[in-house]
Structure 1
Amino acid sequence: MFNSVSGTITAKHPSAIYLENNGIEWDFQVSSAALDRLGPVGSTARIYSWLYHREDQMRLFGFYSVEERNLFLDLLKVDGIGPKQAVKILSSIPCAELEAALEAEDLSRLESAPGIGKKTAQKMILALKGKLTRIDSSPGKRGKDAQTPFDDIVNALSDMGFDRKLALEAVESSAASLGVKISASGASVGHEKEQELFRQALVALSS
């Protein structure tokens, strides 16, 4: 699956942006924050992507940064919040403020987002406090909460209820025991080895 699309912005709408790349015009549903940060029509931009795919429809969502996309994906883990609702939340509360509100259990700030009542705000805190996907943006530095070559495995374990930091430690330990080496360009993990990494990490976390 593609990670991002780079090209020329051809149009902007209240909740969408069009981007042309090699003769193909992409239609992304975006937050108001992304609309503001991605530049004017005619400028070049890189949009990080996520594809919503169901039997009856497909929809492409766009983000101005990996951090915004990660927060969007975290919001989807909350019962009752779908892609469109997640975009509305990101449009009304800046990413940094949203993360701070979740960590501080600030119900009033969360309830300020359209369609978010007290119960949903409480669900957000319960599901996401201490479990947000973060990326260390410092050059040359990768912290325990940074993006790793094993994010899919760590995310799967986190979705099962395991602490994200402990899940990452378990996966990295399993990778070391299996001889999976991480280079500057990341790690190349085949499907079978990825399944074995998941299995070993799960055993370690469950013991």
Structure 2
Amino acid sequence: MFNSLTGTVTGKLPQKIFIDTHGIEWDITVPDSSSAAFAQVGQPCRVFTWLQHTDALMNLFGFASDSDRSLFFDLLKVDGIGPKGAIKIMGSICASDLARILESGDLEALQKVPGVGKKTAAKMLLQLKGKLTLSEIDSSSAAKSDSPYADLVSALSEMGYERKSAEKTVSEIVSRMTKDGSFEGKTDAQKEEILFRTAIVELAR
């Protein structure tokens, strides 16, 4: 039903972010660990979402990237872990670190994650080891990128845009503007400003 929301951040609280989309303010539950990945109050932000809808309640959960949301869905597959439990676990450790622990089968490290007991850790490994839907741990690989525009991609990601989409968009814009001569005579700072403005427009489509 909802894939994502793009709007202006109107407030940030522990496990909460508020997004205004043309006069409608959304109350979204998010992992504490991803709070810094969202834009600051007053800035535009994209949040990947999942709606929990039952006879008794409706809760909207949000994530800084599609990969984070995929890990959330994987956690929900574990017996005994509900949406709030998954958010608590992800709020105690960044998604990429949690994914690495699960893939390595490190039970001891997993038990040290707040919100994960011995039984839950064993269930998580049994259910998820080698079965995560994450295709890659994008946050660390992007940090190691040799691209001269890695900082620009990181800035777009921190605004709420999915990192892989930002990387692809920036790469396509660079290729296009290099071919059509848009970068000729421009300083590096001017190129980055043009890229940043153009990327925001194209990512928001």
CA distance in 2, matches of 1:55, 1:114: 30
Q: Percent identity?
A: 49
Q: How does 1:72-83 map to 2 (within 5 A)?
A: 72-83=72-83
Which residue number corresponds to residue 18 of structure 1?
A: 18
Q: How does 1:188-199 map to 2 (within 5 A)?
A: none
Which residue number corresponds to residue 189 of structure 2?
A: none
Query: What amino acid is the match of 2:23?
Result: G
Q: Deviation per CA, 1:161-191, whole angstroms, max 9, x where unpaired? A: xxxxxxxxxxxxxxxxxxxxxxxxxxxxxxx
CA distance in 1, matches of 2:112, 2:55: 33
With structure 1 as the length reference, what TM-score do the two structures score?
0.64
Query: What amino acid is the match of 1:94?
Result: C
Q: Deviation per CA, 1:142-179, whole angstroms, max 9, x where unpaired? A: xxxxxxxxxxxxxxxxxxxxxxxxxxxxxxxxxxxxxx
CA contact (8 A) 2:34 2:94 kept: no
Which residue number corresponds to residue 32 of structure 2?
A: 32
Query: What amino acid is the match of 1:18?
Result: F
Cα displacement (A) at 1:119: 1.1
Query: What amino acid is the match of 2:109?
Result: R
**Count of matched residue positions in the alignment of Structure 1 and Structure 2:** 140
Is 1:41 the counterpart of 2:45? The answer is no
Which residue number corresponds to residue 63 of structure 1?
A: 63
CA contact (8 A) 1:29 1:60 kept: yes
Cα displacement (A) at 1:34: 2.3
Which residue number corresponds to residue 124 of structure 1?
A: 124
With structure 2 as the length reference, what TM-score do the two structures score?
0.65
Query: Which structure dedicates a bigger proportion of its chain to helix?
Result: 2
Query: What amino acid is the match of 1:119?
Result: K
CA distance in 1, matches of 2:52, 2:134: 22
Which residue number corresponds to residue 89 of structure 1?
A: 89
Which residue number corresponds to residue 164 of structure 1?
A: none
Query: What amino acid is the match of 1:27?
Result: D
Question: Which SS does the other structure have where 1:120 is aligned?
Answer: helix
Cα displacement (A) at 1:95: 1.3
CA distance in 2, matches of 1:47, 1:139: 19
CA distance in 2, matches of 1:112, 1:93: 10
Cα displacement (A) at 1:139: 4.4
CA contact (8 A) 1:19 1:25 kept: yes
Query: What amino acid is the match of 2:60?
Result: L
Is 1:103 the counterpart of 2:103? The answer is yes
CA distance in 1, matches of 2:135, 2:4: 17
Query: What amino acid is the match of 2:105?
Result: E
Query: What amino acid is the match of 1:112?
Result: K
Structure 1 portions without partners, runs of 5+:
141-207
CA distance in 1, matches of 2:77, 2:15: 22
Question: Which SS does the other structure have where 1:74 is aligned?
Answer: helix
Query: What amino acid is the match of 1:52?
Result: Q
CA contact (8 A) 1:88 1:113 kept: no
CA distance in 2, matches of 1:106, 1:46: 33
Structure 2 portions without partners, runs of 5+:
137-163, 170-205
Question: Which SS does the other structure have where 2:40 is aligned?
Answer: coil
